[in-house]
């Protein structure tokens, strides 16, 4: 009666090698995109990664990667891994609680229908993404689910900053390489 989700060994090693502070947003995204590539190249999950940082200083909390297949858990998307690990490390279920610095989630595309909700509930105050268009689904075949038509406005209504189109081409290159690799695309039901 318990669920355990783990990070792959290579990611634990890579995290230890990263600097404690990554001041520029592009450099943060570059690391997230590098993790997304390492995840599928190492066969430890889909081509998705997400990092939690202090927005204003760039202090790194953690980078999580997709672990659906390895964990037998369809909710183990990169954003859920990163947010849950950050909340564990910081000892709170609300990253936006009183006295906390502004935490930022950096992801290599717009979160799927599930992870969009996970972002809302996490207390994250800033969301930086590599892109938000149909390219991800078109290139990889992953189903991102029904995204709310006012998803960006709904973030703003909850006080969550959105920064779109950070290193878009670098993110797309990983998706193209993933698609060319013939790796598993594990959508669940697509129709009756």
Q: Give, in degrees to the nearest 5, the angle at Cα 23 between 96 and 108.
A: 70
Minimum CB separation of residue 169 from a copy of itself in Å reads 27
Two tokens at 130? 């590599």
> Exposed, middle or buried: residue 55 (CB in 10 Å: 0-12, 13-18, 19+)?
buried
Please give the Cα distance from 147 to 168 (Å, whole number).
20
Among the listed residues 113, 165, 176, 185, the single contact to a copy of itself using CB under 8 A: 113
Of 66, 122, 140, 168, the one binding a copy of itself (CB under 8 A) is: 122
C-alpha to C-alpha distance for 173 and 72, rounded to whole angstroms:
27
Residues between 81 and 100 that touch a copy of itself (CB under 8 A)? 81, 83-85, 87-88, 91-94, 96
17 binds a copy of itself (CB under 8 A): no
Please confirm, yes or no, whether 31 is among the known catalytic residues. Answer: no
Of 41, 54, 79, 154, catalytic: 79
CB 187 within 8 A of CB 140: no
What are the two backbone dihedrals, phi and then psi, of residue 59, each rounded to the nearest 5 degrees? -60, 130
Q: Which of 150, 165, 176, 185 binds a copy of itself (CB under 8 A)?
A: 150
User: Which residues contact a copy of itself (rule: CB under 8 A)?
Assistant: 1-7, 11-12, 15, 62, 68-69, 71-75, 80-81, 83-85, 87-88, 91-94, 96, 112-118, 120-123, 125, 143, 145-151, 154, 156-160, 186, 188-192
User: Which residues have a catalytic role annotated?
Assistant: 79
């Amino acid at each position: 009666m318990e669920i355990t989700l783990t990070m792959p060994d290579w990611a634990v090693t890579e995290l230890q090698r990263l600097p404690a502070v990554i001041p520029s947003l592009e450099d943060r995204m570059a690391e997230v995109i590098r993790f997304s590539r390492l995840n599928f190249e190492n066969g430890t999950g889909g081509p998705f990664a997400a990092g939690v940082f202090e927005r204003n200083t760039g202090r790194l909390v953690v980078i999580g990667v997709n672990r659906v297949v390895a964990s037998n858990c369809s909710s183990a998307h990169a954003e859920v891994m990163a947010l849950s690990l950050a909340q564990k490390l910081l000892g709170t279920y609300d990253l936006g609680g009183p006295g906390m610095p502004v935490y930022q989630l950096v992801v290599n595309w717009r979160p799927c229908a599930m992870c969009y909700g996970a972002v809302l509930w996490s207390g994250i105050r800033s969301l930086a993404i590599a892109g938000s268009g149909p390219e991800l689904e078109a290139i990889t075949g992953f189903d991102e689910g029904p995204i709310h038509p006012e998803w960006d406005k709904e973030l703003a209504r909850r006080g969550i900053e959105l920064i779109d189109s950070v290193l878009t081409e670098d993110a797309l290159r990983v998706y193209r390489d993933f698609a060319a690799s013939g790796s598993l695309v594990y959508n669940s039901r697509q129709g009756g």
